Chain A
Amino acid sequence: MRIRAFILAATAALTACGEQQGIAPQRMADAIFAVIEADRAAYTNNVVNRLQNEEGVIKADEHWKDTKALPLPAQMLRMGSERVAEQGAGFNYALLSQWAINSQNKPRTDLERQGLEFIVENPGNNFYGTEKLGDTEYFTAIYPDVAVSPACVSCHNEHVDSPRKDFELGQTMGGVVIRFPL
């Protein structure tokens, strides 16, 4: 009898803990973004910038397979996000922009449009919201992606597919969208 009571109490306590431990969606998204951003910066600085611009060993190129070059940072980010999606990790992310080189990276949902506009007009701020896609309600967070180096600006301004040719250093070029079902 005592054992059963103990089990019941323990289960109740654990369930309560479980409920309380749930992380608020915003904190969760912020944490995921920190990882994405850190990886993006590390790859851009320590791989692409070093090997391409400083040591001149190898270039980064959009068609990296054919040219035996390094993938661009944006492509690296997408490879990660596609892998996460394939693993069914429970969330998705993408690098989007209203001035996208790759038209598949243009905002597609109303909230994406609204959020990208917001982060461009309010530098230094993130955007959070919820939206319904298909039958599912999602929490969506959008973080600014800023032109941190002259390479960002020159490559995008010169690219044939870029709809915008006047990016400047320090401007928001797009945003990382993180999304998970509620």
Chain B
Amino acid sequence: MKNYKFKFWHYGLVVTLIVAALITYNLEASDKSFFLSGETSHGHHQIELACTTCHGDGFAGQDFMQQACLNCHAEELVQANDSHPRKKFLDPRNAGLLAHLDARLCVSCHTEHKPEITHEMGVTLAGDFCVHCHSDIAEDRPSHAGFGFDTCASAGCHNYHDNRFLYEDFLAERIDTPDLLANAQLPLRTLVIEWQKTHPDSRPLTAHDMDMEIESVAPETLTGIRHAWADSTHALTNTNCSSCHVDNQTEFTSAEIVTMCGGCHAEQRETFTQGKHGLRFSSQLPEEFRRTVGAMSPVAAQIAMQPAASTELSCTSCHGAHELDMRFAAVEACLGCHDDEHSRNYRASAHFKAWQSDAAEGVSCAGCHLPREENNGRIAINHNQNHNLQPNEKMLPVCLSCHGVEFSVAVLADERQLKSNFRSPVSKGHDTFNLIRDRIARIKTNK
């Protein structure tokens, strides 16, 4: 053994084995990060290590991947009344079109891990993709002759999927509305009223009703908690300490908080875990990923955040554990982390001034980004803050609560307005309306 001579290939073998061991360890026992084929888009970066969710065992085919997209996004596409659903492309008369662009598959337009070709909305095609099928548009719409090949979806006129608030009959019905409505107001929340209706005999709890005493907490802190809770909607709706502090548990992980709140607030949990705040807790992700990767934090965000913001995102990061202060949750909580131009300009905006003076037309961050949606006569808050963000015409129903349609479409299509938080001078009208003004007049006379 002493005289054994190491040959060059022996070193080669050892190095190969070490590298192989490292790679195998990363794949089987660690986070699989060696296997990321390229930077993940802003939509998926926080869950990029949940590989199996999209790729199955690594050898899963196209059908599996397509189903993976649908598992998370199908419902939203149905809600969006998708203008280009897969089912429209199954007729063989479209075979010729599919040869240009296979619109039956999500990945034809949205390829992941390709940062160098990923545009807005996660689209990885060149901006002229509409032209593949609609190059003859000027035959039906002479007004569209000579339009740039990339203008269809870039100017607040059309979207590929969601055109619910951009079709002509919709615009025609609202065209005469003034820029600011007389009865400008967002829908009022109804959750507590609903609860009171179904619990007519319930009395609000007071500080004396608190059903938990703990020695490990300093008396002053406990007094603070007692008062915060007694003033909260939880005390109002008969939710005592023990409802959440089961078995006197006082320390909770973010995952535990989301699960616990979701026990009563299932809809909120569902929408929270669909958006970027709560995505990592989505029930579509593998159990192991949720357990090991933990909550999202502003530190991991791709957009500008306050340097000091490092909390984990769960229900309590905005609502607090005991206060449930809706005004805090709707503005201060957001601005505690978000530090982009739009957010920084909010406190100088007309929306904020009205919010601060508690006027009916006050608009908080949440007013627009966590929209109040009607469902069967109830107004519920959609906690998926991405729901109406991109493309931003999805936000029109919120804007239209207070503003006219032409004003709203024009403002949403104006990049400067978005950055300045709507403090830039409003340009009169929007080109889309000039193109269709005579058509809208005709639609209105036909009605």
Residues of A at the B interface (CB closer than 8 Å) are 62-63, 65-66, 81-83, 85-86, 92, 94, 103-104, 108-109, 112, 133-134, 136, 138, 158-161, 163, 177, 179, 181
Whether, in the assembled complex, B88 has its beta carbon less than 8 Å from a beta carbon of chain A, the answer is: yes
- Residue A85 contacts which of B91, B164, B443 (CB distance < 8 angstroms)? B91
Q: With A82-B90, A133-B92, A134-B92 as known contacts, state yes or no: A160 contacts B442, CB within 8 Å.
A: yes
Query: Are B446 and A158 in contact, with the CB atoms below 8 A?
Result: yes
| Chain B at the A interface: SS class | helix
Residues of B at the A interface (CB closer than 8 Å) are 81, 85-88, 90-96, 98-99, 140, 164, 167-170, 439, 442-443, 446
Report the Cα distance A179→B95, complex, angstroms. 13
Query: Are A86 and B92 in contact, with the CB atoms below 8 A?
Result: no
Tell me which residues across on chain B come within 8 A of A138, comparing CB atoms.
Answer: 92
List, sorted by A's number, 11 A–B pairs whose CB atoms are closer than 8 Å: A62-B169, A63-B169, A85-B87, A85-B91, A94-B91, A108-B93, A159-B446, A160-B439, A160-B443, A163-B140, A177-B93
Query: Are A82 and B93 in contact, with the CB atoms below 8 A?
Result: no
Tell me which residues across on chain A come within 8 A of B170, comparing CB atoms.
Answer: 63, 66
Query: Smallest Cβ distance from B66 to chain A, in angstroms?
Result: 13
Number of A-B contacts (CB under 8 A): 58
Tell me which residues across on chain A come within 8 A of B92, comparing CB atoms.
Answer: 92, 133-134, 136, 138, 179, 181
Tell me which residues across on chain B come within 8 A of A103, comparing CB atoms.
Answer: 140
Query: Are A82 and B167 in contact, with the CB atoms below 8 A?
Result: no
Query: Smallest Cβ distance from B60 to chain A, in angstroms?
Result: 21
Query: Are B93 and A94 in contact, with the CB atoms below 8 A?
Result: yes
Report the Cα distance A17→B71, complex, angstroms. 44
Query: Smallest Cβ distance from B95 to chain A, in angstroms?
Result: 4
Query: Smallest Cβ distance from A89 to chain B, in angstroms?
Result: 10
Query: Smallest Cβ distance from A133 to chain B, in angstroms?
Result: 5
Query: Are B99 and A134 in contact, with the CB atoms below 8 A?
Result: yes
Tell me which residues across on chain A come within 8 A of B96, comparing CB atoms.
Answer: 108, 133-134
Which residue of B has the minimal Cβ distance to A61? B169
Tell me which residues across on chain B come within 8 A of A136, comparing CB atoms.
Answer: 92, 95
Q: With A62-B169, A103-B140, A160-B439 as known contacts, state yes or no: A133 contacts B93, CB within 8 Å.
A: yes
Tell me which residues across on chain A come within 8 A of B442, comparing CB atoms.
Answer: 160
Report the Cα distance A159→B140, complex, angstroms. 14
Query: Smallest Cβ distance from B174 to chain A, in angstroms?
Result: 12
Inter-chain pairs besides A133-B93, A134-B96, 10 sampled, C-beta below 8 Å:
A85-B91, A86-B87, A108-B94, A108-B96, A109-B93, A112-B93, A133-B95, A136-B95, A158-B446, A181-B92
Tell me which residues across on chain A come within 8 A of B164, comparing CB atoms.
Answer: 66
9 nearest A-B residue pairs (beta carbon): A85-B90, A134-B95, A82-B87, A133-B95, A92-B91, A133-B92, A158-B446, A86-B87, A108-B93
Report the Cα distance A151→B221, complex, angstroms. 73
Tell me which residues across on chain A come within 8 A of B91, comparing CB atoms.
Answer: 81, 85, 92, 94, 179
Query: Are B88 and A82 in contact, with the CB atoms below 8 A?
Result: yes
Which residue of B has the minimal Cβ distance to A180? B92
Report the Cα distance A82→B89, complex, angstroms. 9
